[in-house]
Structure 1
Amino acid sequence: MGGSAYRELVETDAEKLGDGWRWPLPDDPDGWVGLSNEDDRWMRSKAVPQPVGTLSTPLQRTEYASSHPSTYVLCTKNGMKESVLEMVRDLTERYGWERHELETGHWPMVTMPEDVVTLLGDASTHA
């Protein structure tokens, strides 16, 4: 699903289900690779809607952020097309961010917790 179609889906769901500004957890998102039924139930018991503005408000990089190391975790089985994954890889190269790729969906903290802990620990030593 492309950017404008995705944005329309999110905004429509937010209008119908979230008072126009909250996007509830989707029923069956593409990026839920590797989650067991138990993981799904656990996540849904903890989930809260995401404010739609976090998906539509451009992020401004500050001088502080530009002058400090950044790490990007790319989950390659998150439902994105290969062309989008390549765009993200190019972006991390352009900004000089350290990139780590995990072959899992959008929730690596659930599907690969040990890998995420190791990755974050390693990244913190470069800060």
Structure 2
Amino acid sequence: MTHFVLVAGAWLGAWAWDEVAPGLREAGHEVHAVTLSGLAERKGVPAGLRTHVQDIVGHVERHDLRDVVLVGHSYAGIPVGQAAERIGDRLRRVVFVDSGVPVDGQSFLSSFDSAPVRQALDANDGLWPPLPPAEYAGQELTGEQIERIVTEGTPHPGASLTEPAVLKRPLGELPATYVKCLLDGAEPMPPVAELLKSERWELVEMDTGHWPMFSRPRELARVLAESAAGD
């Protein structure tokens, strides 16, 4: 049995996968949705990037999971990519859902113009609050879905965004799928484009926005299941 370990991006907890998990279970897989430290029901727990990596590795080891597909969305691609190399032969595949990827020595904020995020951290005691509703426009989300992200989302611990990633081997050596959500930009970021040159990486495109667990949950479940089956 394949064990899917699902980790959502900034502001979100395990609840973000509520509509994806049933499709995976119907396909015969076991699903573990993980909430990272400092978010949702774990709000207030101090956390940096290393903490989030250990959250994921610890969950896999604590439950003695094998044949694991690690799934990281958005920010969570950074800790998931590091956790993937640390769980060794427990890993079946890693799937990055419209996410960042870890680059050794660089942080999440290294990959884009991060000035607005850094200003938000300074103004909110080191936390990154969910974006205002208007920022989710054009991503195939309903008004109700946007409201849920904004109201149920948790201010994200800033240390996890500024702490550099640590990789012990090239990420391109891991079996991986990158899911590009086209409404969030048609082309993968340069570090992702470089990794996609690896024979062990594949690209899957979804014609939806940056939060496919809300906009296309059944399709995302199918994509995830097929990524595991195709390895």
Interval of TM-score (by shorter of Structure 1 and Structure 2): 0.7 to 0.9
Q: Which amino acid in structure 2 is aligned with residue 39 of structure 1?
A: Q
Is residue 26 of structure 1 aligned with residue 131 of structure 2? yes
In structure 1, the residue matched to 2:112 is 3
Contact map agreement 1:24 1:50 (CA 8 A) in 2: yes
TM-aligned CA distance change 1:101 to 1:59, over 3 Å: farther
TM-aligned CA distance change 1:26 to 1:32, over 3 Å: farther
- How many residues align? The count is 119
Alignment partners' CA distance in 2, 1:117 and 1:62: 30
The aligned runs of 1:1-127 (5 Å cut-off) are: 3-4=112-113, 7-17=114-124, 19-20=125-126, 22-27=127-132, 28-29=134-135, 33-63=139-169, 66-78=172-184, 80=185, 85=188, 87=190, 90-96=193-199, 97-126=201-230
Unaligned runs of 5+ in 1: none
Unaligned runs of 5+ in 2: 1-110
- Helix, strand or coil at the partner of 2:116: helix
The answer to which structure has the higher helix fraction is 1
TM-aligned CA distance change 1:95 to 1:58, over 3 Å: farther
Alignment partners' CA distance in 2, 1:70 and 1:116: 16
**TM-score, normalised via structure 1 length:** 0.73
Alignment partners' CA distance in 2, 1:101 and 1:40: 22
Please report how far the alpha carbon of residue 93 of structure 1 lies from its aligned counterpart in structure 2 after TM superposition. 2.1
Please report how far the alpha carbon of residue 68 of structure 1 lies from its aligned counterpart in structure 2 after TM superposition. 3.2
Alignment partners' CA distance in 1, 2:136 and 2:148: 18
Contact map agreement 2:128 2:155 (CA 8 A) in 1: yes
Alignment partners' CA distance in 2, 1:88 and 1:103: 21
Q: Which amino acid in structure 2 is aligned with residue 98 of structure 1?
A: E
TM-aligned CA distance change 1:25 to 1:107, over 3 Å: same
TM-aligned CA distance change 1:32 to 1:46, over 3 Å: farther
The answer to which structure has the higher strand fraction is 2
RMSD: 2.8
